[in-house]
Amino acid sequence: MLAGAFIALSSATASAHGRQNSCSNLPSWSQLRSALIGARGVAGNNGLGLHMWATIVANDGTVCAVAFTGSDYRSQWLASRVISAQKANAANGLSLSKGVTPSGSAVGTNGLALSTANLYSAVQPGGSLFGLQFSNPVDPDAAYEQRNGRPADAATFGQPNDPMVGDAIGGVNVFGGGLALYGPNGVKIGGIGVSGDTSCTDHMVAWRARHSLNLDYLSGVGGVNATDATRPDNIIFDISGGASASGWGHPNCAGVGNGTPVLSTLPAVQ
């Protein structure tokens, strides 16, 4: 029995170690927090001007880092902690590296980058992806580290030892704020999610943070933003009369008005 327990413990340790290794080529907690603070502070993000959360996940969905911009976890909407992870997971899980897509596909061999903002219209009733948002629920144990009916210490939220770190969080979010992370040559290496303001502002801050982290090597990667190849997974404001012209549109948000001109101020991908 003791030997069996030792083997089980060793296997669990090895599994956790393997998950940690999946984050080895991604930004650290301090790098994420610095990029988030810098991106939030850029003029032109519009929105409500609130503090924000960000999460990075690896290719396999492992949460690698969770950070916030305020003084402690109570400075931001608490719900946005898990929402940011959900966004990162969705963008990572629904995007593909350059070279892995078949030559006969709609994007050829260019791969496909989808932001969570691109999903909004397609998941509405009658849309081609209706129900997608219910397909991969967030794991509450990973989100809150439930033990003996009690959640983790909230003081760890957004810190290097956040209880989500090292676990696969799951979740599919379908409004702005989630982007896939791409290294050189269009290779997808994970995802970033930002939450805490309007969904349009979340997208813009995530976009700037990804650029600051130097993980926006999407030049030539396929996307649904047909009007701007330099920003293939950018948010699209083309909803009129309740319908999106492209099928991938997102509503304008409070403080944005006609958001389309704002989008050209976001950095082009590398």
Tell me, letter by letter, the H, E, C secondary structure of 37-90. HHHHCCCCCCCCCCCCEEEEEECCCEEEEEEECCCCHHHCCCHHHHHHHHHHHH
The tens digit of pLDDT for each residue in 129-159 reads 999 999 999 999 999 987 666 778 999 999 9
- Asked if 169 and 90 touch (Cβ cutoff 8 Å), the reply is no
Token pair listed for 180? 């896939």
The pLDDT confidence band at residue 9, using thresholds 50, 70 and 90, is very low
Strand positions, DSSP E, the chain: 53-58, 63-68, 178-183, 187-195, 239-240, 243-244
- Residue the block writes with tokens 């997974």: 233
225-230 mean pLDDT: 94
Residue-level pLDDT at 2:
42
The tens digit of pLDDT for each residue in 86-123 reads 999 999 999 999 999 999 999 999 999 999 999 999 99
Question: What is the percent of the chain where pLDDT is above 90?
Answer: 83
Q: Which domains does the chain have, with CATH numbers?
A: 26-263 (3.30.450.150)
Q: Is pLDDT of 256 > 70? A: no
Residue-level pLDDT at 25:
94
158-181 mean pLDDT: 97
Beta bridge partners of 179: 192
Token pair listed for 219? 């030049």
Token pair listed for 20? 């940690």
Residue-level pLDDT at 150:
72
Residue-level pLDDT at 152:
85
